[in-house]
Structure 1
Amino acid sequence: MIIKEVRGHKPKFGEDCFLAENAVILGEVSMGDQCSIWYNAVVRGDVHYIKMGNKVNIQDGAVVHATFEKSPTNIGNNVSVGHNAIVHGCTIHDDVLIGMGAIVMDDCVIESNSIIAAGAVVAKGTYVKSGSVYGGIPAKKIKDISEELLKGEVHRIAENYIKYSGWFKE
């Protein structure tokens, strides 16, 4: 893995985190406990800070970045960022699933208990209210999240990634 200090900022990690051998974590990045940064994922806190809560998984090939001196990235607890997704200069609250290949642009706010569907493009400044499922290009509200989706997808995936990361720590 590549972990580098940039502009005087060194990444900080909570307890029981998994960092894949080819993950890249740079600069002003802080993460809570039980987080995982997977293969070919890039978390680049070189131009602004990136803060992650507990139980965040950044899956294979995903990119988390920010905008220089404008838009940091804040990610809450129990958040899954799917394979090849891009999360850029935005705020993601707790219990959110960002689907595979989705793009969340600058100054977006994704409230808790929401899903951004695979392949969706959430345009700059979009505000996703709690309990929503957004999809499409540009992303629009598709429906309200059901309890089944919340437990069966958002919570299940976040918990599974803690389990998966354990396989690589043995």
Structure 2
Amino acid sequence: MTSGVTGPRVLPYMNVLPRIDDSAFIADGATVIGDVEIGAESSIWYGCVVRGDVNEIRIGARSNVQDGSVIHCTGGGLGTYIGDDVTVGHLAMLHACRLEDGSFVGMKACLLDGVVVETGAVVAAGALVSPNKRIPAGELWAGTPAKFVRKLTDEERARFASTAPHYVRLSRQHKSIG
């Protein structure tokens, strides 16, 4: 029995084709369009859309964008930049923002234009981060609109830091069976 999904869609836009490292995993049903770069051992999971049509999208090494997430950008110099070892939870919406290395965005979070999530910061599931907010390193922000909740504990930092390596291992398994 087949699922009817033919694989990931990697499409050019205005003659610009995404550049994806050979070790990255792009799942069946994911769509990557235009001026997009995806780094080594990163993963774009089932049902994601990464659309670099009006500006650039850059995703570093070992980052994971989980099922159903949408990443877009805007004109006027606002691309979307995701560093190394970043986790983006299921159904997240990222628009013209910057996620620094080792940051974490929870499921169904929405980050709007100009947002910066610093290294080791966490945006909670369901949060709405309004334009131009900066989430400082080591902080947890939650709510709609998102606000500072508290500093992360050492235990939480360790747990969040283990997520990116977990998804590298998981993506290798999915890539080997696909």
- For 2:133, the equivalent position in structure 1 comes to 126
- For 2:166, the equivalent position in structure 1 comes to 160
- For 1:149, the equivalent position in structure 2 comes to 156
Task: Classify the secondary structure of the residue corresponding to 1:159.
Answer: helix
Q: 2:152, 2:111 → 1: CA distance? A: 19
Pick the aligned partner of 1:17 from 2, 5, 24: 24
Q: How many residues align?
A: 169
Q: 1:104, 1:94 → 2: CA distance? A: 16
Deviation, 1:86, is 0.4
Offset from partner CA, 1:8-35 (integer Å, 9 cap, x none): 2110112411111110000000011000
Q: 1:75, 1:130 → 2: CA distance? A: 15
Task: Classify the secondary structure of the residue corresponding to 2:19.
Answer: coil
> 5+ residue gaps in structure 1?
none
Deviation, 1:163, is 1.1
Task: Classify the secondary structure of the residue corresponding to 1:133.
Answer: strand
Deviation, 1:69, is 3.0
Pick the aligned partner of 1:4 from 1, 11, 20: 11
Q: 2:49, 2:157 → 1: CA distance? A: 27
Task: Classify the secondary structure of the residue corresponding to 2:125.
Answer: coil
Pick the aligned partner of 1:46 from 49, 53, 59: 53
Q: For the Cα contact (< 8 Å) 1:63–1:85, is it kept in 2?
A: yes
Pick the aligned partner of 1:82 from 79, 89, 96: 89
Offset from partner CA, 1:91-134 (integer Å, 9 cap, x none): 11010110000001000111100110000000011011111110
> 5+ residue gaps in structure 2?
1-7
Runs of 4+ more than 3 Å apart: none
RMSD after superposition: 0.9
1:61 matched to 2:68: yes
Q: 2:76, 2:44 → 1: CA distance? A: 25
Q: 2:48, 2:146 → 1: CA distance? A: 23
Q: 1:143, 1:47 → 2: CA distance? A: 36
Deviation, 1:79, is 0.4
Aligned AA (1:55)? R
Give the TM-score normalised by the residue count of structure 1: 0.96
Q: 1:139, 1:81 → 2: CA distance? A: 16
Q: 2:60, 2:175 → 1: CA distance? A: 21
Deviation, 1:70, is 3.8
Give the TM-score normalised by the residue count of structure 2: 0.92
Deviation, 1:159, is 1.1
- The structure with the larger Rg is 2
Q: For the Cα contact (< 8 Å) 1:90–1:109, is it kept in 2?
A: yes
Task: Classify the secondary structure of the residue corresponding to 1:113.
Answer: coil
**Matching of residues 95-106 of structure 1 within 5 Å:** 95-106=102-113
Q: 1:156, 1:150 → 2: CA distance? A: 9
